[in-house]
A = this chain, B = another copy of it.
Amino acid sequence: MRPLQYVIGLDGGGTKTAAELCDAAGGVLTSAIGGPSNFQVIGVEQSAKTILDLVETCCHSVGCTIGQLESIVAGLTGAGRPGDQARMAEAIKAESARRGSPCKDVRVESDARIALEGAFGGQPGIIVIAGTGSIVFGKDAAGIVHRSGGWGRIVGDDGSGFAIGRDAFRAVFAAIDRRGPATALSKKLQKNAGLADSDAIITALYKEGFDVASIAPMVMEAAKGGDHVARIVLRRSADDLVGLIAPVVRKLHASSLKRSPFPLAFLGSLLTNKNYYSDRVRSLLRTELPSVRIQAPEAPPVHGAVLIALDGIRS
C-alpha cells in the first residue's frame, strides 16, 4: 500500500489567511483560519511565520509533520511578480527549516491565480476580480493563464472600487469648480464620510492610507437614487472593466479549438452584490461578449491553491 500523500493550500490577504490540508485525491482533511499574511504590508518574515503557524495547526490536526507534506501552495495578495513569489517562497522554506521540519516543495502564487483555479475546478475559465483593485485572469484549454489589468492604483485600477471612489471625488471637485454638474455625491460625502468641505476632503484624500475605495458604496447608493453623475461614474467604470475582460476572452478563443461559451466568475462584493454597477457589467457582457457565460465560483480560492499543489505532485 502506498503511503498517504498530503498537500496544503493557503489563501492569504490583508485581513486573514485560510488554509486547507488535503489528501492526494483532493479530499479536505482539515482547514484553519489565521491572521493576515500580506507580505507587502507586514514583511516576508512575519508573513512566513503566519503561514507556518497555520501549516503546523493543520498538520497537528491530521497527525503529520511539515516534512511529510508533498507540496505547500500559497496564493497571496500582492504576489503578482515572479521576484516577489520567489522571495516569499524562500522565506517559507527558511522558516520551516528553522522550525526543524523543512518542507519539500513550496510555491507562491497571486491570490487571483488561486481564485481562478478554485472557480472552475482547475478547468478553463475567466475570473473578474473587482475589489479595491481590479484584475482579470483567464485559463485556456492548453492550461495557459492570461491576464489583463492588475497594475495598481496609478495605472491599472480600471473598474475597481478605487477607480469608482476616485472618479466620485473628481466629480465632486468638478462641481465645486463649476466644470461639472451638481451631484448628490457632494452631500453624501459630507454626511456619510464626515467630509465637511473641500479642505476636509483634500486633507483626508492625501493622508497616507486613505481608503478611496470605501466611497464606492455611496456611489452605488447615489446611482440607485437617480443621481446622473454617480451613474456616469459607474457606467464608465463598467466600460473599463469590460475593456479589461475583452482581450482575455479573445486570447482564450484564439487558443481554443471549439468556440463554445467560456465560463466567467465574479469575485469581490462590487460584482457579487446586486447594484447599479454589477447590473451594468452583466448587461455589457451580454451585448459585448456574448460568448461568455457568467457563473458562481465552484470552490473558494484556498481550494484553488490545493488544486495547484495536487497538479504539482502529479506532474
Contact = CB atoms under 8 A, between A and B. Distances in A.
Contact of A81 (B149, B173, B202, B247): B202
Contacts of A166: 154-155
A121 B147 CA distance: 56
Interface string A78-95: 000111000000000000
B156 A250 contact: no
Nearest to A170: B155
Interface residues of A, number: 30
Chain B CB within 10 A, most for which of A154, A177, A206, A244? A177
B170 A149 contact: no
Contact of A179 (B169, B177, B178, B247): B247
Interface in A153-191: 154-156, 166, 169-170, 173, 177-179
A177 B250 contact: no
B155 A205 contact: yes
A68 interface: no
Interface in A48-82: 81-82
A148 interface: yes
A131 interface: no
Interface string A240-266: 000110110011000000000000000
A154 B246 contact: no
A212 interface: yes
Interface in A111-131: none
8 contacts: A148-B178, A148-B179, A151-B202, A152-B206, A154-B169, A155-B169, A179-B244, A179-B247
